Amino acid sequence: MSDFWIYFNIGLQHVLDINAYDHVLFLLALTVPYEFKSWKRILILVSLFTLGHTVALFLSVFNILTIKAEIVEFLIPITILITALYNIIILGKSAKKDSTTVTGIITVFFGIIHGLGFSNYFNSILTGKPTDKLAPLFEFALGIEVAQIIVVVAALLLAYVVQTLLKFSKRDWILMISAFIAGVVIPMIMQSEIWVK
């Protein structure tokens, strides 16, 4: 049981680590268009992101898929920027018109990219055969899922307070947060090691 908590905690810390805020930025970009009443859709999207993240680690553990770290580190902020810009582009349009299937597939794909960013570290902390890493992989995934739900609930609470008490319109809130996220990740993209080569 102690092993469970070790890997569960690694999953929690992976998302909640203040120095690795790219995961939180993606979650903010993913959920900023929604409110508490859309909790089922948000939970589906967050779980699909966890699924993609876990699939990437699974593929890495079995040496099916490996990508150079600098490419993944370049792609992660790109996924965040695309999500933030998408929010701005669809501003004012009903979220119901947005296809859940398409959004879900894209979220899984982005989860795979983010998972590949953690795969080298994940493989380095685990020893043994690939099959020995399956239980820790799912324990880690559960920690990720719980941490993501914590972040999403906090983001939704903040949105509720700002929109209700401070009288921000939903449109202004989405625009402000999405623009902020874009402003944070554009320098990350520009400073990527990929440009050096």
Listed as own residue / partner, the contacts of 21-26 with beta carbons closer than 8 Å and 24 or more positions apart are 22/76, 22/77, 22/80, 22/114, 22/117, 22/185, 22/188, 23/114, 23/148, 24/151, 25/80, 25/181, 25/184, 25/185, 26/76, 26/79, 26/80, 26/83, 26/110, 26/114
- Which residue has 């999207």 as its token pair? 45
CA distance 22 to 61: 23
45 contacts: CB under 8 Å, gap ≥ 6: 30, 31, 103, 104, 107
Residue showing tokens 């090691």:
193
Contacts of 153 (CB under 8 A, 6+ apart): none
Give me the tens of pLDDT residue by residue for the chain, a chain 197 residues long.
578 899 999 999 999 998 889 999 999 999 999 999 999 999 999 999 999 999 999 999 888 988 888 999 999 999 999 999 999 998 866 554 556 788 899 999 999 999 999 888 888 888 788 888 899 999 999 999 999 999 999 999 999 999 999 999 999 999 999 999 999 999 999 999 888 86
